[in-house]
Amino acid sequence: MAATFYGLMARFDTAPDIYHAAQQVRDAGYKNWDCITPFPVHGLDGAMGLRRSNVPKFSLLGGLTGFTTGMSMIWFTGAFDYPLIVGGKPYFSPLFAFPIAYELTILFTAFATIAGMFILNWLPQHYHPVLKSKEILRGLDDAFYVVIEARDPKFDLNRAKALLNEAGAKEISELEA
Amino acid sequence: MSTHVATISPSVGSASAASSASAVGASANKALVLGLVGLALTGAGVFVSGKAAAFSYLTGLVFWVAVALGALFLIMIHHVFDAGWSTVLRRQYENWVTCLPWLGLLFAPLLISAVVAPGVIWKWTDPSYDLSQVGGHGTVAQDVLWVKKSGLLSTMTLIIASFVGFGGWTLIASRLRAHSVAQDTDGDIAHTHANRFWTAVGLPFTALSMTLCVILWVKALDYHWYSTMFGVWFFAGAVRAALSLGIILTIWLWARGDYKGILNNNHMHSIGMLMFAFTVFWAYITFSQYFLIYMANIPEETFWYSLREINSDGVFNTWGYVGMFLLFGHFFAPFLTLIHYPVKLSKTWLPRVGAFIATVVLVDMIYNVMPSLKNSAGDAYPFVSLNLLWIATSVVGVGGVCVWAYLNSFAKTKLIPIRDPRIVESLTHHE
């Protein structure tokens, strides 16, 4: 079976090189591309033009769910399902429901944050085309890579190659899906 | 090892201190005049409102003591954790704590009143105080709840605790500041080590003495009441007020041009995170105090909150609204605002949030002090009254003196500790 073309993988040797290359790829208007670095490069997210993560939206949703769950649980058990006077207190008050609501807010926020991170990163992901390339081993060790995917609407093989060469790529290889 | 050569030029920060020293000196004098006018008006208030003006003065003074102690705690927390990022911010706190001896001096009239006219502010300074004036019966000396606590609640303890407190805080603050400033000249690492020593001694001392002092000054206004949360509550409010003051000073200096090229987004983010953390901490402490008292339902504790919600005839009073305002204004509003990342980076919004928090810390202080002044039915006087004016004059009066002390110190020191071993780490602070 003939392998389909996935994209281009370009090697850079230093962190400043990939930083400037990322800025050029960003300015060229590509959307489906990524950087592979052996360690976190400070400011690379800005150079790649990444916006802030959407994970906090998941966290907020989780927090609100947790708070509501805690409050309604105490109301359900104490005032609706089996009303019982305990310690001369009302059947329901947000006061004594607060500790449980607060705990569930934290718990559900943590769950939603982890889940949101997994969903937005498409995890778990057991296969990725760059893993097929032997180059990736250097990408985990001492080299920096820019990968531009062929599915990007702006992708054109020759123009993408020219852009990466201009950005100072040391070596460009083609990836199979 | 004896000298540390800083890699940045010593000229950073000194320019402003030199060129605008006279302008700062003029502002300092204005602040002092404003402060003295405020204090004079509060003094006049004693002749108009009597006791109530004294309570108002106590409120305003304790608020500024909270700000100063919060600043002192932040300096010590910086040293005890060997923090790097906050080095460029530390000097402004070191300048601020020079107000501590003046606050001690301003506290003296209250102590003198406890000797000359006992019972005016703290009922237990006068064992023959007639409790029927405030809705009770008998005298303080006949009150078993005072007799059991009389070892602690006496004029002598009050005076000694206040002297030890202000004396110790002033000593610690002046040593921390002196070593930090001396390091600007000689760059000696020994100053950093000396500050760690003063911090190791100062943190437990300040924590204990502050707790004892606020118990005597504020909590014991209603000596029947007890709460194990009280010292921590004061600490939370103090640090929140100091962080708010810090961000306002920092942005003021940034707007003036001093902090240009020094203050970066990550400093803002870190200050914002601390403000957020202490918002949650305050809520945790305050809620726990209320929650434990609500659940246990012991009359000696619950009366304190009942007083701040309903009068003895069962009518809901203005303090109930103040309590609700504290719940939403002191916790939910700052919490939901500071949780946003852009707010923490905004040089427009973060100082505004800081100003709001500082205001609500003052309201919290009013809520804790003023209702302890009761009428003959044992009810609190309303929140909205002439007393608010005396609180305002006290806050301006004592605040003016604090600002004067800060500006005087500011004109004499460099903007940042230029030869601190961690200054480069702080200038390049990143996530």
Looking at the predicted structure, is the pLDDT value of residue A126 above 80? yes
Q: Higher model confidence: residue A133 or residue B206?
A: B206
Q: Does B375 reside within a domain? A: yes
- Looking at residue B279, its pLDDT comes to 96
Are B291 and A99 in contact (CB < 8 Å)?
yes
Average pLDDT of the segment spanning A32-48: 92
Of B393, B352, B379, B402, residue with least CA distance to B135: B379
Q: Does B7 reside within a domain? A: no
Distance from CA of A22 to the nearest CA of B (A): 20
A-contacting residues in B 318-357 (Cβ below 8 Å): 341
Q: Does B350 reside within a domain? A: yes
Output phi, psi for A98, to 5 deg: -65, -45
Q: Does B284 touch chain A (CB under 8 A)?
A: no
Q: Does B41 reside within a domain? A: yes
- A42, A56, A95 ranked by CB distance to B291: nearest: A95
- Where does B117-262 have alpha helices with state H? 144-147, 155-186, 189-217, 230-256
- Looking at residue B18, its pLDDT comes to 47
In chain A, where the domains are located: 5-52+127-176, 55-120
Q: Are B139 and B127 in contact (CB under 8 A)?
A: yes
Distance from CA of B332 to the nearest CA of A (A): 13
Q: Does B295 touch chain A (CB under 8 A)?
A: yes
Residue of chain B minimizing CA distance to A102: B284
Distance in angstroms (rounded) separating the CA atoms of residues A16 and A115: 33
Quickly count: other Cβ atoms within 10 Å of residue B260's Cβ: 10
Q: What percent of chain A has pLDDT over 90?
A: 73
Domain range spanning residue B394?
14-427
| Class of residue B389 by CB neighbours under 10 A (exposed 0-12, middle 13-18, buried 19+) | middle
Strand order in the sheet with A5-12: A33-36, A144-149, A5-12, A171-176
Output phi, psi for A5, to 5 deg: -75, 130
Q: pTM of the prediction?
A: 0.90
- Looking at residue B15, its pLDDT comes to 46
- Looking at residue A77, its pLDDT comes to 94
Q: Which residues of A touch B294 (CB under 8 A)?
A: 95-96
Q: Helix axis angle, B87-96 relative to B230-256, nearest 10°? A: 110
- Looking at residue A7, its pLDDT comes to 92
One digit per residue, the tens of pLDDT, for chain B of length 431 reads 334 444 444 444 444 444 466 788 889 999 999 999 999 999 999 999 989 999 999 999 999 999 999 999 999 999 999 999 999 999 999 999 999 999 999 999 999 999 999 989 999 999 999 998 888 889 999 999 999 999 999 999 999 999 999 999 999 999 999 999 999 999 999 999 999 999 999 999 999 999 999 999 999 999 999 899 999 999 999 999 999 999 999 999 999 999 998 999 999 999 999 999 999 999 999 999 999 999 999 988 999 999 999 998 889 999 999 999 999 999 999 999 999 999 999 999 999 999 999 999 999 999 999 999 988 888 999 999 999 999 999 999 999 999 999 999 999 999 999 999 999 999 999 87
Q: How many domains does chain B have?
A: 1
- Looking at residue A2, its pLDDT comes to 63
Average pLDDT of the segment spanning A40-47: 90
- Looking at residue B140, its pLDDT comes to 92
Q: Does B1 reside within a domain? A: no
Distance from CA of A99 to the nearest CA of B (A): 9
Output phi, psi for A174, to 5 deg: -100, 140
- A42, A56, A95 ranked by CB distance to B294: nearest: A95
Distance in angstroms (rounded) separating the CA atoms of residues B414 and B92: 10
Quickly count: other Cβ atoms within 10 Å of residue B319's Cβ: 23
